[in-house]
């Protein structure tokens, strides 16, 4: 058995990420996802300003000692050498190179260079939260880069990406030219100037270009690494690879009798097909689900301070679920497995009623677990562990 707890809050507007990007998430998945590019003109008063602002870009570059390859500078489509905008130093007694030199970065920006913040989902909490919520909503891994372009800068040349893309305009404006996606009927390119809060979606392989920049622009590119059926089938083939007979060498001297090798291969393919059809498909899907929901980026902001706050807890202590938290409960072989998004916990099966209570209660008093977990000390131990694991946080 399993249960999935919905993410209750995904943005300052209260809307899930896909709805923020597309307006009507259900209609988008039915008519556009993987098929054709779409433009959604934002109707959210927050826009995407909660994810990225010029002030936040300034803070990241000027006060965090950001290092390459987490950022780079480009101009007119060409990479600017790192030596032109980075510096070296020491941390402790160890040399450190590739650190952002804010004065030179800002000088090159003023001279027309575009600042690219790469892998922003790894070090900017708002984007981390958004990407994790979006990838759990879609079931596909996501990443994020940010592009901050000054007025007058030349845009990107026509190119395509090896993954699906959501372009989120955070501030300023940018002009785009979007051609037909692979498999889409031939059409004239879509040309649009997008403003803060607007979003363009493009399936894998869609040719697109950004035109010469007329005003300051900051946008996020959310890359969605879509899992294809061949990836899931590969999981099934890996199960077959455990068969020791497949590790046997093909016959020596097969070159002199390739027909014999072909006949034997044909027999083995028939056997493999029969074995594949007899595999438990749900087990393979479950293994992928557990892998996916235990390898997402962590959301542990505040967890260090919260650990200090839980030493003296009582049945009157109040707890709530961490924002954006995930809890999927599964039982197997007498064990309880809790998937928290970034990790997998194994627990005794007798904790299942308590964990299901927590899954259904966004806020609760610890003593409320007494009906499903009678021992007071066990309740305290469970609460402390779930705070340390980042699922719960004490309400002060």
Which residues, 6 or more positions from 383, have their beta carbon under 8 angstroms from its beta carbon? 310, 313, 317, 319, 366, 392
Distance (Å, whole) CA 342 – CA 303: 14
Q: Report the side by side order of strands in the sheet with 335-339.
A: 328-332, 335-339, 344-348
SS3 state at 5: coil
Query: What DSSP element (H or E) covers 91?
Result: strand 86-91
- Supply the pLDDT for residue 13: 54
Question: Which residues of the chain, if any, have pLDDT below 70?
Answer: 1-13
Global confidence as pTM: 0.90
111, 153 contact by CB (below 8 A): no
Whose CA is closest to 196, among 35, 319, 22, 45? 45
Residue with token string 């924002």: 323
- Supply the pLDDT for residue 1: 44
DSSP string, 100-160: E-HHHHHHHHHTTPEEEETTGGGT-HHHHHHHHHHHHHHTS-EEEEEEEE-TT---PPSB-
- Supply the pLDDT for residue 381: 94
Half-sphere exposure of 182 (CA within 13 A, CB side): 9
138, 164 contact by CB (below 8 A): no
CA angle 200, 206, 208 (to 5 degrees): 65
- Supply the pLDDT for residue 198: 97
66, 146 contact by CB (below 8 A): no
Question: Rounded to whole angstroms, what are the CA distances from 385 to 12, 305, 344, 359?
Answer: 29, 14, 13, 15
Which residues, 6 or more positions from 353, have their beta carbon under 8 angstroms from its beta carbon? 372, 373
Which residues, 6 or more positions from 245, have their beta carbon under 8 angstroms from its beta carbon? none
- Supply the pLDDT for residue 9: 37
342, 298 contact by CB (below 8 A): yes
- Supply the pLDDT for residue 66: 96
- Supply the pLDDT for residue 11: 42
Question: Rounded to whole angstroms, what are the CA distances from 94 to 91, 97, 209, 283?
Answer: 5, 10, 42, 48
- Supply the pLDDT for residue 7: 38
Half-sphere exposure of 278 (CA within 13 A, CB side): 7
- The DSSP code for 85 is T
Distance (Å, whole) CA 78 – CA 389: 44
DSSP string, 48-71: TTTT--HHHHHHHHHHS--BTTSE
DSSP string, 341-382: SS-EEEEEGGGHHHHHHHHH-SEEEGGGGGGT---HHHHHHH
Task: Write out the two tokens for 66.
Answer: 């950001």
- Supply the pLDDT for residue 6: 40
- Domains defined for the chain, CATH in brackets: 17-224 (2.60.120.650), 229-288 (no CATH), 303-394 (3.90.930.40)
Could you give phi then psi for residue 58, rounded to 5 degrees? -55, -45
Query: Before 269, cis peptide (omega within 30)?
Result: no
Distance (Å, whole) CA 377 – CA 375: 6
For a pLDDT cut of 70, what percent of the chain falls above it? 97
């Amino acid at each position: 058995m399993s249960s999935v707890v919905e993410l209750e809050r995904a943005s300052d507007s209260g809307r899930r990420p896909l709805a923020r990007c597309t307006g009507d998430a259900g209609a988008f998945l039915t008519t556009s996802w993987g098929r054709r590019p779409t433009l959604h003109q934002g109707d959210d008063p927050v826009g995407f300003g909660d994810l990225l602002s010029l002030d936040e870009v300034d803070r990241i570059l000027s006060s965090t000692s950001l290092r390459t390859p987490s950022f780079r500078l480009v101009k007119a489509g060409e990479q600017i050498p790192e030596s032109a905008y980075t510096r070296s130093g020491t941390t402790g007694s160890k040399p450190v190179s590739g650190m952002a030199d804010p004065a030179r970065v800002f000088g090159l920006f003023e001279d027309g260079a575009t600042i690219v913040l790469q892998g922003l989902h790894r070090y900017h909490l708002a984007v981390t939260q958004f990407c994790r919520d979006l990838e759990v909503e879609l079931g596909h891994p996501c990443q994020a880069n940010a592009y901050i372009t000054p007025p007058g800068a030349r845009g990107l040349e026509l190119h395509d990406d090896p993954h699906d893309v959501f372009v989120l305009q955070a501030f300023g404006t940018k002009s785009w030219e979007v051609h037909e996606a692979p498999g889409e009927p031939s059409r004239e390119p879509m040309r649009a100037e997008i403003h803060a809060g607007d979003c363009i979606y493009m399936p894998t392989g869609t040719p697109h270009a950004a035109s010469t920049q007329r005003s300051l622009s900051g946008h996020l590119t959310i890359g969605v690494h879509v899992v294809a059926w061949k990836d899931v089938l590969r999981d099934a083939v890996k199960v077959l690879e455990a068969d020791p007979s497949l590790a046997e060498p093909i016959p020596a001297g097969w070159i002199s009798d390739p027909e014999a090798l072909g006949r034997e291969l044909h027999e083995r393919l028939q056997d493999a097909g029969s074995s594949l059809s007899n595999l438990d498909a749900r087990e393979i899907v479950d293994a992928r689900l557990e892998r996916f929901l235990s390898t997402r980026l962590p959301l542990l902001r505040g967890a260090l301070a919260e650990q200090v706050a839980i030493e003296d807890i009582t049945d009157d202590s109040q707890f709530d679920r961490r924002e954006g938290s995930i809890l999927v409960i599964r039982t197997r072989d007498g064990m309880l497995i809790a998937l928290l998004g970034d990790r997998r916990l194994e627990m005794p099966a007798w904790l299942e009623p308590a964990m299901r209570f927590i899954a259904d209660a966004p806020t609760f008093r610890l003593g409320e677990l007494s009906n499903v977990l009678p021992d007071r000390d066990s309740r305290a131990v469970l609460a402390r562990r779930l705070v340390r694991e980042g699922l719960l946080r004490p309400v002060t």
